Structure 1
């Protein structure tokens, strides 16, 4: 856990030497004319006089070719809404948007959506998704790396799928949901998958799956889009808390997990978890090897989906720069453009570079040179 006082002392001199060149569309919906940029060119990000490589951990896609596999199944409804548009794998708009936003590399993933599939369908569905993503990444080696999908409802199969994806398809990790058909992923039945991820040394990206888990609480119905506004961060919080308190992270100390939506509410409120471990209150932390908050300095990572400067300042203070990755939730329109990090007055140049790409370049084995 980063020391808050040291962090605040560093704040005053953190901004020297940052410069950005804009050669494309601005983030958050502004037109080229509004920012004085020429359309159709690639925005370059320069920090301290040096071009830096930027990487987006939170980038969704969908493989249209799965339609024939699922069109006669209950999965068809979810698939049908993702066959076209910017989310579809291969849509040229993705690269146009990346160039405009100044994103050099996306770690693309399919949000977990097939956990209800039987073993045969899950085997074929995942094989097709991973193969197509791998092929797309190979065709654009300088712009994409792939995060595999796995059938967590069949943990032994999921372990094999992860092994194949990493060793045969060159994928850099996997994307997983927060629960599986009502079961928490801290359940021992999922240990074969966790063991495989630890063995391979790859990072997992957790994102709540649509219309499942905490997001489906009836109290989140009504105005405000609460299933998304509150539900997604809450699902992330519950997922992480179970892995911590049920000992999953201790059983597999080599696990590396990035939690979407800035880790939900846990980074901001992990002090309560620590406090309950220290005074009782039903937390039952005797078997844990460290305080709940300390897992953020070892095995857990988060993205920058926090939306405002003070929020970013807070998660940096709570988690530390080395455990934060830039993420956009592409293709969904959120105000989390690169300038959100570049203009943060409390970050040193090296810290900005780490968040925008340096951390992921190391963990996902991405060539560091900018292209």
Structure 2
């Protein structure tokens, strides 16, 4: 089974606007709609995936979670949004009211720092609820964004909340891989493989060494749809030279186990 950890999706009218905004200056390769996502999954051979909603400000958290709560559960696991300008109780209630099982945190889009004590408090509550958290880590659109999601901040967060099911996107440091290897690789977090526009630009030998150092049982495949093509990213994983057991674990076994699929 192939399970994609990193699938952004928006209501149709917002997806159209995202085509013009180009998140982080990156061209969307697909339309960002729910129908478009399901077609891509079928074409790419993806059995299940995490549908990620990101509320860029507190006022859209509820609407974002309402939408993500409607995704088809036979194919998609709903990961909703939180925001530190809302109370811990408001955030948790919005997730539960919409049947959401996990959270996507995005220091770049949300202008939120992994060092913010309010973020720590929210994630501590999510840990108590057993909800996994997927977070962007690494470079953003500007130096300030880079620091909000720095690998060292992720490590401090993971150490402070050892029971939190924390998944670090982009091998723990998008375009900051040396820092990820210093601070994140070998830690308690689960690493995710996306590297838009394609993971194929990374050196395979370096990626394999990183995966094995961290533990191939704690690395999960993610594409970062619609910024990347899942079929190409699956091919990039298969071209790394992992053992069949490692490949199967990364492409779906590990995330299936973590999410109880």
- What TM-score, normalized to structure 1? 0.57
1:215 aligns with 2:126: no
1:101 aligns with 2:50: no
Cα displacement string for residues 135-172 of structure 1 (whole angstroms, at most 9, x for unaligned residues): 222xxx32111101112333x24x5323542x443323
Q: In the alignment, what sits opposite 1:259? A: 168
Among residues 239, 250, 260, which one is paired with 2:159 in the alignment?
Answer: 250
SS at match of 2:227: coil
Among residues 78, 83, 91, which one is paired with 1:151 in the alignment?
Answer: 83
Cα displacement (A) at 1:348: 2.0
Among residues 62, 65, 69, which one is paired with 1:134 in the alignment?
Answer: 69
Q: In the alignment, what sits opposite 2:33? A: 88
Larger Rg: 1
User: Structure 1 unaligned runs (5+)?
Assistant: 1-52, 68-76, 219-230, 274-291, 367-371
Cα displacement string for residues 312-333 of structure 1 (whole angstroms, at most 9, x for unaligned residues): 3132133221221111111123
Contact 2:205 2:240 in 1 (8 A): no
Contact 1:304 1:324 in 2 (8 A): no
User: Structure 2 unaligned runs (5+)?
Assistant: 23-27
Cα displacement (A) at 1:354: 0.8
CA distance in 1, matches of 2:109, 2:32: 23
CA distance in 2, matches of 1:318, 1:333: 26
SS at match of 2:80: strand
CA distance 1:162–1:363, shift in 2 (3 Å):
farther
Alignment length, in residue pairs? 248
- For the aligned residue pairs, the C-alpha RMSD in angstroms reads 3.4
Q: In the alignment, what sits opposite 2:150? A: 239
Contact 2:103 2:133 in 1 (8 A): yes
Q: In the alignment, what sits opposite 1:160? A: 90
CA distance in 1, matches of 2:78, 2:39: 19
CA distance in 2, matches of 1:97, 1:179: 25
CA distance 1:184–1:135, shift in 2 (3 Å):
closer
Q: How does 1:1-371 map to 2 (within 5 A)?
A: 53-64=1-12, 81=21, 86-89=31-34, 91=35, 93-112=36-55, 114-115=56-57, 117=58, 122=59, 125-137=60-72, 141-154=73-86, 156-157=87-88, 159-165=89-95, 167-178=96-107, 184-207=113-136, 214-217=140-143, 234=146, 238-244=149-155, 247-264=156-173, 268-269=178-179, 272=182, 293-295=185-187, 298-305=188-195, 306-307=199-200, 308=202, 309-334=204-229, 336-345=232-241, 347-366=242-261
Cα displacement (A) at 1:364: 1.7
Cα displacement string for residues 206-251 of structure 1 (whole angstroms, at most 9, x for unaligned residues): 1379xxx852249xxxxxxxxxxxx8xx568x4331243xx43333
SS at match of 2:69: helix
CA distance in 1, matches of 2:210, 2:194: 9
Cα displacement (A) at 1:109: 0.8
CA distance in 2, matches of 1:272, 1:254: 22
- What TM-score, normalized to structure 2? 0.78
CA distance 1:86–1:151, shift in 2 (3 Å):
same
Cα displacement (A) at 1:255: 1.6
Contact 1:267 1:318 in 2 (8 A): no
SS at match of 2:71: helix
Contact 1:197 1:203 in 2 (8 A): yes
Cα displacement string for residues 251-277 of structure 1 (whole angstroms, at most 9, x for unaligned residues): 32112222222222565445655xxxx
